[in-house]
Amino acid sequence: MAYLDSRPGTPSGLPNTMGLSGWRGLFWARGCRPKQSLLCACDYELRVWPNIRILFTARELCPEPSSPTQIKRSSFAPGLPRADYAAAASLVPRHETLDELFEVPKSIPICDMRYSELIPCLDRNLTYQLKLKLNLALMKHYERHCPPPERRFNCLIPPPIGYKIPIRWPAGRDESFPVGGPIFMIGADKYITAIAEMLKIPGYKLNNGGNIRNVLDVGCGVASFGAYLLPLNIIAMSLAPNDVHENQIQFALERGIPSTLGVLGTKRLPYPSRSFELAHCSRCRIDWVQRDGILLLELDRLLRPGGYFVYSSPEAYAHDAANRRIWYALYDLLRRMCWRVVSRRDQTVIWAKPLSNSCYLERNQGTNPPLCSSDDDPDAIWNVLMKACVTPYSAKMHREKGSGLEPWPQRLTAAPPRLEEVGVSPDEFQKDTVSFYG
């Protein structure tokens, strides 16, 4: 039987190999590799609930190897093919109360331990087994490839043997890590202050009175940058693929830092256009000049008018020939994209996206990257390929700096100007707000 429990402790039926506290203890468990000793749940959301663990008996944690097809079907069938949903629903008894509704059915089978690291749709084994020919140079192997219905799992993913609840916040933020780790030599907090100084923000607080709130950190590693933005009331979407290292995003989530598996490869990131006030890349090793700048053009789509791109990478400061060449190519590309250098200091360069179309229109005819065609919807994101073009501002678009949004936290309840673009007036927004919140 498997059930959810919110008490700290040792998985029942398992010897307590974890008398140690902290991360080191995790890695000593029963000869597990570090990666195996972290929680793997059905999906990533589960991993951010530090107090929730799934308890198992020893027998359930170590089932006989079985193929997924041998696994018993349960009455709760998230992995069933769509056609089976109706049949599955008829197996689920009608529930009268919420408690009954959320009672975990006792018949959910536990996946074999070899699937304890499984991430649905990002499963490398599946990629090999299905012989998907993915272009590695375009990072397609780090993008989502979901299994066909007959290969989906219908079982609970067990935590690795000896899994221990994560270090509590804020200790997790300051812990050093066996992979990647904070590379901000001066400390992430000082690095963030230095960025604010470069932007001449009063008081050197990067949130700029709430005007910088949404940040995208691409190639985030273990998301230290995002961790140190939190006290400033800045929320970073920290993004990295599950690459050849240990799973960095798993580490970040275990540290208590919001982050997500994602890659700048061939598909648009799942955010609408003009979502972020600032994008950040420190040593992210992304080849920004490839494919006519398609990856930078994706950042251009995502940045709000006047949004910043903070770039701290050897290409920006190293003087060897290879890095210089990349730097000049990058600098030239961004000039053609009409981004202007706002500040440059030590290892960091900051650009800003333009506030209007005027620079685009002044470019020589035939300048690359071209403007996107008027039928391109910059807000179409799900499974949409990136495009190597600049999204111009339209007449109805709010192009004031920061999309004309109120600073945080007022923006939480104020009508976003963007609503008018889709025909909703501030009045209607206020009326809706009143009917939602009474």
Ligand X SMILES: C[S@@+](CC[C@H](N)C(=O)[O-])C[C@H]1O[C@@H](n2cnc3c(N)ncnc32)[C@H](O)[C@@H]1O
Residues that bind ligand X in the complex, under the rule CB under 6 A: 139, 180, 183, 218-221, 239-241, 243, 248, 263-264, 282-286
Q: Could you give the dihedral angle defined by the CA atoms of residues 360, 363, 366 and 369, in that order, rounded to the nearest 10 degrees?
A: -50
CA 434 to chain centre: 32
CA 400 to chain centre: 27
Of 100 and 287, which has the nearer Cβ to ligand X? 287
**Shortest CB 262 distance to ligand X, Å:** 7
Q: Could you give the dihedral angle defined by the CA atoms of residues 215, 221, 222 and 226, in that order, rounded to the nearest 10 degrees?
A: -10
**Shortest CB 142 distance to ligand X, Å:** 7
Of 183 and 230, which has the nearer Cβ to ligand X? 183
Is beta strand 53-55 parallel, antiparallel or unpaired with respect to 348-352? unpaired
Of 228 and 339, which has the nearer Cβ to ligand X? 228
**Shortest CB 184 distance to ligand X, Å:** 7
**Shortest CB 228 distance to ligand X, Å:** 12
**Shortest CB 221 distance to ligand X, Å:** 3
**Shortest CB 300 distance to ligand X, Å:** 16
**Shortest CB 179 distance to ligand X, Å:** 9
Of 161 and 239, which has the nearer Cβ to ligand X? 239
Tokens linked to 298? 């994706």
CA 414 to chain centre: 26
Full DSSP string of 257-290: ---EE---SSB--SS-SS-EEEEEEES----TTS
Of 295 and 389, which has the nearer Cβ to ligand X? 295
**Shortest CB 266 distance to ligand X, Å:** 10
Of 77 and 139, which has the nearer Cβ to ligand X? 139
Return d(Cα 378, Cα 298) in angstroms, integer.
10
For Cα atoms 270, 277, 344, give the angle at the middle one, nearest 5 degrees. Answer: 120
Contact, 372 vs 390, CB < 8 A? Answer: yes
Of 271 and 393, which has the nearer Cβ to ligand X? 271
Tokens linked to 54? 């799934």
Return d(Cα 255, Cα 119) in angstroms, integer.
19
Contact, 407 vs 234, CB < 8 A? Answer: no
Tokens linked to 354? 């333009």
**Shortest CB 241 distance to ligand X, Å:** 5
**Shortest CB 283 distance to ligand X, Å:** 4
Of 110 and 216, which has the nearer Cβ to ligand X? 216
Of 48 and 179, which has the nearer Cβ to ligand X? 179
Return d(Cα 152, Cα 149) in angstroms, integer.
5
Is beta strand 53-55 parallel, antiparallel or unpaired with respect to 260-261? unpaired
Of 211 and 266, which has the nearer Cβ to ligand X? 266
Distances (CA, A) of 290 to 137, 212, 326, 360, 435: 10, 29, 10, 21, 49
Distances (CA, A) of 314 to 179, 222, 241, 331: 20, 19, 21, 14
Q: Which secondary structure element, helix H or strand E, spans residue 59, and what is its range?
A: helix 58-61
